[in-house]
Amino acid sequence: NSNKPNCPVEQVSWNDIQVFLTRLNAQQSGNIPAGWAYVLPTEAQWEYACRAGTATAYSWGDSINASDANYYYNFGQTRDVGKYSANAWDFFDMHGNVWEWTADWYGSYSTASVIDPGGSASGSSRVTRGGSWDLVGASLRSAGRLIFSPSLRYYFIGFRVGFQKQ
């Protein structure tokens, strides 16, 4: 939104983001190391970054209030990125503001202990993480997830770009 240049991108589908990432990687091909690419994080990567070494409901602890994140219609819309404290790894707005698309299809978690698991190989819905400005605090938990059709564009869905070796 040109009227809110410091707010997260919203109303963008998972499919739209794939086009954006393809173009970004092509545009930046001369500036990034061989074998690396801009991507959407997997669910596991997103949660790992959100938790920042914690095991609590939120990256700051087990309770939430209006000074922690933009949620439950605090402001009735998205807010500028960075209005709330960063987590221990300096990531801002992992909780609230907008749900963030991940790379993964929705599926059940494995019961086995897995390091850096990928999502289901196929499906009909993609996973978002982080909660949004229009939901109650429990929806913003580090482990919270919501699923949508990859073609859906909605006012409370955005994304976060990752960078990783392919």
Judge if pTM exceeds 0.75.
yes
User: What pLDDT is attached to residue 3?
Assistant: 81
**What is the pLDDT at residue 158?**
97
Gap between the Cα atoms of 10 and 132, Å rounded: 11
Give the pLDDT score at 96. Answer: 97
What is the pLDDT, as a whole number, of residue 70?
A: 97
Cα torsion 18, 101, 32, 120 to 10°: value is: -80
Q: What is the structure's pLDDT at 1?
A: 55
Tell me the two tokens of residue 23.
């173009």
- What are residue 22's phi and psi, to 5 degrees? -60, -45
Query: If the chain, 166 residues long, is cut into consecutive pieces of 10 residues, what is the mean pLDDT of each piece?
Result: 85 98 98 97 97 98 97 94 97 98 92 84 96 96 97 96 96
pLDDT at 139: 96
Q: What phi, psi does 105 have (nearest 5°)? A: -75, 150
Helix (H) or strand (E) holding 129: strand 126-129
The CA-atom distances, in angstroms, between 130 and each of 30, 67, 154 are: 33, 16, 15
144 vs 153: CA distance, rounded Å:
20
Cα 135 from Cα 140, distance rounded (Å):
8
Q: Are 41 and 160 in contact (CB under 8 A)?
A: yes
